Amino acid sequence: MFIGHFALGMAAKRLVPRVSLGVLFIAAQFLDLLWPVLLLTGVEQARIVPGITALTPLDFTHYPISHSLVMATVWGVLVGVVAYLVRRNGRVALVLGALVLSHWVLDLLVHRPDLPISPLGGPKVGLGLWNMPVAALVLELGLFAWGVWVYVRCTTARDKVGRIGFWALVAFFLVVHLMNVLGPPPPNMTAVAWAGQLQWLFVLWAFWVDRHREATVG
């Protein structure tokens, strides 16, 4: 799951119009922004096994801190508390915290049973939609289209950056998503981790574009 997470970030703008899209992206993608750091430091592990699912060659062998249900909840609470301390707004805190947890729920739909419930071991879950490529693609692209639609409906561009910059961001997401799906397997996990770090580019881009758009609700 990649652009599906960002889609929820875009849709959440409707609920908290005064929070930047960049912040919403950080919350929705919090677990996957943490993961590359944990991979590069050797705390978590994954390997490349071409064919392990129809859509992704990644075998997520060990990621209890970034992707267990318990830790996803902890990260969600933590983000919510920090958001509350900064914004003094219960709704903002709740939406950002829920976005963090939504990541795990969306991952649950597509991953093989590799998502741990507890960071200490025990059962792993995953509904495995990645093995039904058409369904997975329809789900993710559908979510993405919905997110774009909601964001566009609850904001208006103030200038060219707000208009063209936003649609360029949408196009870039789609290109990267198609490259992930159609491209060859990555050469090694270090490359995967650094590609993961590049997601900050989307976050920065969202901060920039959002400043050039005005919320029309709330």
Binding residues (CB under 5 A) for Zn ion: these are 31-32, 107
Shortest gap between Cβ of 31 and Zn ion (angstroms)?
Answer: 5
Taking CA atoms, 166 is separated from 9, 26, 121, in Å, by 14, 17, 42
Q: How far apart are CA 147 and CA 52, in angstroms?
A: 29
Shortest gap between Cβ of 111 and Zn ion (angstroms)?
Answer: 8
**Of 107 and 140, CB closest to Zn ion:** 107
Residue with tokens 């919905």: 146
The phi and psi torsions of 156 (rounded to 5 degrees) equal -130, 150
HSE on the CB side for 169, CA within 13 Å?
Answer: 30
**Of 98 and 154, CB closest to Zn ion:** 98
**Of 44 and 107, CB closest to Zn ion:** 107
Residues with Cβ within 8 Å of residue 36, at least 6 apart in sequence: 192, 193, 194, 195, 196, 197, 199
**Of 137 and 152, CB closest to Zn ion:** 137
Shortest gap between Cβ of 80 and Zn ion (angstroms)?
Answer: 19
Write the single-letter amino acid at 44: E
**Of 11 and 110, CB closest to Zn ion:** 110
Shortest gap between Cβ of 45 and Zn ion (angstroms)?
Answer: 15
Shortest gap between Cβ of 85 and Zn ion (angstroms)?
Answer: 26
Percent helix, strand and coil across the chain, each to the nearest 5: 65, 10, 25
